[in-house]
Structure 1
């Protein structure tokens, strides 16, 4: 708002030659349709310009889709925490501005078209990176979501959840599953949900996970719970006691790869790159955010700049109206394509489709 206020206050309105009288709604609509027909009839005279607008439709849709879907992808597919997501978004803000200036300098040296091509190639790298990211496999006991530790003094297991475990959803199936095993899980009544019986992970007064000491002889129930975990998004580990060194991982856990059509990509990258470097999923996602932030301002600014160089000066308002319209319409295709392919296949196939849009536009 501040920058807009300064612009309104300091930038004078340009003089308009032959300013039109105010028109009513019907007259304005009729005039708009007439002018639209005239412009479309001249497609042949501005063939390169219209081809660029179609290309812009595709690549800006891909770019906008990446920025709008990155948070969903990070939380649901990669399993990053909301705190990590907010931190990444904050860092992007500091990266975007200087990188936009850097792309301006690059355009001065290489030309706008070549600089924009570099930016679009960078977005393709971001897409490949997003497909290759994968949480590292769980190793240590305290990395698992649900942890059972043997307490020799109490002659029983103590169960607690990892501080980074995802909150229990209000999905009826997940709630029914948790409540079926609540005698061996650290849960408590969710008082915020009044329309049905609902539980959440137990927390102490400081908001940290609260441990729960189980009844003696709960080994059979814990074993049954471990077997039921296969159809969920959670993980568990047992340390000590009769069940010591037992682990279980749900099919929908972020680290469990192999069922997806493109899961071979993150598996290879995890084995050859992320695990040897010790880069967890947060740092992988942060790397993605920095790259996307660096490209965002540059690619959008260069796209407008290149279009401005191609537009006839006397018809700039007319063609920039088309340009803006294409950008708004493009906001629908990418998310729709991502959602459709994610339902049909998985999220990584959906992300690949976004990359295809950028390649078509480039």
Structure 2
């Protein structure tokens, strides 16, 4: 909630600066304000009319079809990245935050670079290059793979294998209590890894669950926030938004220029830091150590050969079962699972990831860098190209339709991803999205910018002539 609130403030603050300081060309209009109801009717009727009139602008219509395709693909990859990372690569959810941070850090300078490239080689060339890079991103993502788990290598000689913390369930022997203490990957707990009723986890539950610490799938757990505490948190967020918003509006009224921008950044930063600090203070950590006996540990090891069709990994460190480990056949490190393109991530891991020791987390950051290169640049160049193809006298009308089309661009790719992942797997699904982007790129290559600009200028001349009369 804090993240959403501070993000809203960030957009609000810089949006207000744009509305206040960005000059807008005067466009003649005979329309009069007749209330919100009339404005709503006019807006929707205008979208419908624009849709009908687009056929008069054939070059623009072709570009909009191309935009619908490639932006659909871009949106699909962005929306499915989290699910892909979770299911295929077993990425920690916190890595998605770093992914977004990396994308935005890289996108800012690369948007400027592609802007310069557009000045030299043309907007269409820059847009197509960004889209081709995005296709490369999808191909590279399909080749991502976690490094293989090694239960034996112990570089520092402390008795704990180097990869012990990469296993889903790590049981470490306590010499004092003579019990095995369980740790789970990313501290998510048994319940958040193994589904209570999921059919895909049935074999794991049937063979191992009775020997694990008793799981608790109940909704109500101790130390969780009550409804009253939740309401207080919501109230705090509302007060924080109001105070920061008022501060931002005050700074904007002072006409401080770039100092005002810096002051707003600092103000929002202080708000984020304060909210994070309070959230950290409010977090109650569960220090309960879950354990199993040596007999239960022996039973788990005994069942290793009886249960292989699952997606989890187990390792024992120390004690009678020291060094015993199990990796299910559907675990993310088992890349070759019968998929049509499993050879690709297997090859890339063998010749790139493993020799250079590039973990899946670092692969995720590399993905963010390449997405950052292409994503912001593709969006900026697409808008720039669209601007060239529309009449200046109907800018608001066409950009409204452009925005409507952008919000609709999340159907083809999502449908294709769902079909491909159901019939094949997620790697094939992510690759299938490149077909949508390539189709949009091909149509973009067929757009005649000069002709489109000429038609837009003729429409402007006609509209300005009618207005002057």
- For normalisation by structure 2, the TM-score amounts to 0.65
**In structure 1, how many angstroms separate the alpha carbons of the residues matched to 2:365 and 2:288?**
26
- Aligned positions, number: 347
Q: 1:98 Cα deviation (Å)?
A: 1.6
Which among 48, 53, 65 is matched to residue 39 of structure 1? Answer: 53
**In structure 1, how many angstroms separate the alpha carbons of the residues matched to 2:203 and 2:20?**
60
Change (3 A) 1:161 1:16: same
2:315 is paired with a residue whose SS is strand
Which among 392, 395, 398 is matched to residue 313 of structure 1? Answer: 392
Superposition RMSD in Å: 3.2
Preserved contact between residue 226 and residue 236 of structure 1 (Cα < 8 Å)? no
1:160 is paired with a residue whose SS is strand
**In structure 2, how many angstroms separate the alpha carbons of the residues matched to 1:95 and 1:253?**
32
Match of 2:170 in 1: 147
1:258 aligns with 2:258: no
Q: 1:262 Cα deviation (Å)?
A: 1.7
Change (3 A) 1:90 1:209: farther
Q: Where in structure 1 are there 5+ consecutive unaligned residues?
A: 195-204
Preserved contact between residue 230 and residue 251 of structure 1 (Cα < 8 Å)? yes
Deviations 1:199-232 (A, max 9, x none): xxxxxx85578352414x4465223442454232
Preserved contact between residue 174 and residue 181 of structure 2 (Cα < 8 Å)? no
Q: 1:175 Cα deviation (Å)?
A: 8.2
More displaced, 320-329 or 261-270?
A: 320-329
Match of 2:406 in 1: 327
Change (3 A) 1:279 1:187: farther
**In structure 1, how many angstroms separate the alpha carbons of the residues matched to 2:47 and 2:70?**
27
Which among 233, 237, 240 is matched to residue 311 of structure 2? Answer: 233
1:248 is paired with a residue whose SS is strand
1:356 aligns with 2:435: yes
Q: 1:163 Cα deviation (Å)?
A: 4.1
More displaced, 29-38 or 57-66?
A: 29-38
Change (3 A) 1:213 1:9: same
Preserved contact between residue 161 and residue 186 of structure 1 (Cα < 8 Å)? no
More displaced, 290-299 or 7-16?
A: 7-16
Change (3 A) 1:208 1:138: farther
Preserved contact between residue 133 and residue 374 of structure 2 (Cα < 8 Å)? yes
Preserved contact between residue 127 and residue 351 of structure 1 (Cα < 8 Å)? yes
Match of 2:258 in 1: none
**In structure 2, how many angstroms separate the alpha carbons of the residues matched to 1:347 and 1:228?**
27
**In structure 2, how many angstroms separate the alpha carbons of the residues matched to 1:149 and 1:6?**
56
Deviations 1:37-73 (A, max 9, x none): 751552xxx3222111111111111111122221221
- For normalisation by structure 1, the TM-score amounts to 0.83
Preserved contact between residue 133 and residue 281 of structure 1 (Cα < 8 Å)? yes
Higher relative contact order (CA 8 A, sep 6+): 2
1:90 aligns with 2:117: no
2:149 is paired with a residue whose SS is coil
Q: Where in structure 2 are there 5+ consecutive unaligned residues?
A: 1-11, 152-160, 222-283, 442-469
**In structure 2, how many angstroms separate the alpha carbons of the residues matched to 1:177 and 1:105?**
56
Match of 1:120 in 2: 131
Change (3 A) 1:101 1:221: same
Which among 182, 185, 209 is matched to residue 212 of structure 2? Answer: 185
